[in-house]
Structure 1
Amino acid sequence: MGKRPVILLGMALGLLWGAGLLYIGAQVFLPVPPPMVLAMALFPAGLVMLVMVGRLAQRRFFDDSTIDGAAFAPGSAGAIDQAVLTNTTEQLVLALMIWPLAGYVLGAGVVLALGLGFGVARVLFWVGYHLSPPLRGFGFAASFYPTVLAALWMLWRLLSGSFALPL
């Protein structure tokens, strides 16, 4: 199987993962205020990022060519780790722009599911990228699409009038 079909399959499975996360999260009622749930949801992502940053620091410490901050060689394990950390940071910034409102509109269970799913998906993205770059497709999609689906669901609820923000 070529690279594109593998990536496409991973993306399709990631979309299903995202729909499943939102469905499961919507079934869970948590009597927790949205700010606390957001903190709980971001914690798994924070742990994964902590490990990523630590791994990059370890690589640099034991590599004379990068110990002073030089770029990792293209295609090297260090370059992959750096790319994974960069993409994780980008996706977390996106999550920080969307998840807080999701807590109010879609419920605490959805946000907690987004956070837990994100942590798992980022690890799968990282491992998949090291095994074979096309295998990163699932982990990418499984952390990106749930946020996209949550944003679309919120917009639908807000625009259809099925949810009104308390002002």
Structure 2
Amino acid sequence: MGKRPVILAGMALGLLWGLGLMWLGSRVFLPLPPPMVLAMAAFPGGVVALLMVARLAQRRFFDDAIIDGQPFAPGSPAAIDQSVLTNTVEQLVLAAAIWPFAGYVLGGGVVLMLGLGFAVTRVLFWIGYHLSPPLRGFGFAASFYPTVLAALWVLWRLVTGAFALPF
């Protein structure tokens, strides 16, 4: 099988994962204040990012070729880790911009599922990338699409009047 079918299959599975997270999260009621739920949702992704930074620091410390901050060799395990970290930070920025309002409109359960799902799928993205770059498709899609779906769901509720802003 070529690279594109593997990536496409991962993307399709990632979309299904995202739909499942949205469905499951919409059925979870959390009697907690929104800031606490948002902090709980953000923490797992933060821990995964911390592990990625730590792994890169460990690679630099034990490799004389990169200990002084030299660029990583293209395609090297360290370069893959750097790419994974960069993409994870990009997605965490999206999460920080979208999840708070999504939690307000859709409920804390949705945001908590977004956070837990994000951490799991970022690790799968990281592992998949190291095994074979096309295998990263699922991890990427399964961490990105839920945020996209949450944003679209919020917009849908606002446009259809299913949620009214308190003005």
Q: State TM-score, norm by structure 2.
A: 0.99
Whole-Å separation in 2 of the counterparts to 1:57 and 1:63: 10
Whole-Å separation in 2 of the counterparts to 1:139 and 1:166: 37
Write the letter of the residue equivalent to 1:99.
Answer: W
Corresponding residue for residue 27 of structure 1: 27
Corresponding residue for residue 105 of structure 2: 105
Whole-Å separation in 2 of the counterparts to 1:107 and 1:132: 37
Matching of residues 5-84 of structure 1 within 5 Å: 5-84=5-84
Secondary structure of the equivalent of 2:122? helix
Deviation at 1:165, TM superposition (A): 2.1
Corresponding residue for residue 133 of structure 1: 133
Write the letter of the residue equivalent to 2:85.
Answer: L
Structure 2: tracts of 5 or more residues without a match: none
Corresponding residue for residue 120 of structure 1: 120
Q: How many residues align?
A: 167
Deviation at 1:103, TM superposition (A): 0.8
Whole-Å separation in 2 of the counterparts to 1:166 and 1:111: 21
Whole-Å separation in 2 of the counterparts to 1:122 and 1:166: 35
Deviation at 1:73, TM superposition (A): 0.2
Output one character per residue of 1:84-137: Cα deviation in whole Å (capped at 9) or x when no partner: 000000000001000000111000000000000000000000000000000000
Deviation at 1:164, TM superposition (A): 1.1
Structure 1: tracts of 5 or more residues without a match: none
Secondary structure of the equivalent of 1:113? helix
Deviation at 1:13, TM superposition (A): 0.1
Corresponding residue for residue 90 of structure 1: 90
Deviation at 1:32, TM superposition (A): 1.1
Output one character per residue of 1:15-70: Cα deviation in whole Å (capped at 9) or x when no partner: 00000000000000001121111100001001101110000000000111111111
Whole-Å separation in 2 of the counterparts to 1:87 and 1:34: 27
Whole-Å separation in 1 of the counterparts to 2:143 and 2:94: 11
Whole-Å separation in 2 of the counterparts to 1:34 and 1:160: 24
Whole-Å separation in 1 of the counterparts to 2:159 and 2:32: 26
RMSD: 0.6
Whole-Å separation in 2 of the counterparts to 1:166 and 1:14: 34
Whole-Å separation in 1 of the counterparts to 2:154 and 2:69: 42
Whole-Å separation in 2 of the counterparts to 1:66 and 1:165: 52
Secondary structure of the equivalent of 2:6? helix
